[in-house]
Amino acid sequence: MQTTISSPVGPLAVTVADDGAVTRIGFGTGAVSDDPRLQTVVAQLREYFAGERTNFDLALRPDGGSPFELRVWQALLEIPYGETVSYGQIAARIGHPGKARAVGRANGRNPIAIVCPCHRVIGSDGSLTGYGGGLENKRTLLDLEAGMLSLAMDTA
């Protein structure tokens, strides 16, 4: 089941499996549903954008992904709120030093935006690089986590 929620970084299409596990959160619109299995993820996203949540407590089951991508996505979940790491650091953490570009590709294929925080991965020189939701949204999310801004979220 799927619903679309408005957020400070644009509409987010949220998809959960029948058991309530989140399989996808992407930028853009999709169907709209008020199925109760969506309520937890929607509530937690709202709390995150309000600056009230620093950790998500959701069952995740990414839609697709190679074994390498799954390892990268797991490593993303270990990046603390408000911190950033480089693609090279992720590569080293998962036992593939020197594969920063492959980590970048896997990061770009992350199907669960925001909750699986690919926005916390930056270039080795500290620059913001690639983000499926756009670099402006990446900056917005990092600023939110740094406590530099508070984002209001529509209830739509």
The answer to whether 116 is a known catalytic residue is no
Give the whole-angstrom CA distance, residue 48 versus residue 51: 5
- Joined together, the tokens standing for residue 130 give 């690639």
Q: What is the 3-state secondary structure (H, E, C) of 123-141?
A: CCCCCCCCCCCCHHHHHHH
Angle of helix 67-77 versus helix 100-108 axis, rounded to 10:
80
Query: Of these residues, 118, 121, 122, 141, which one is catalytic?
Result: 118
Q: Which residues are catalytic?
A: 118
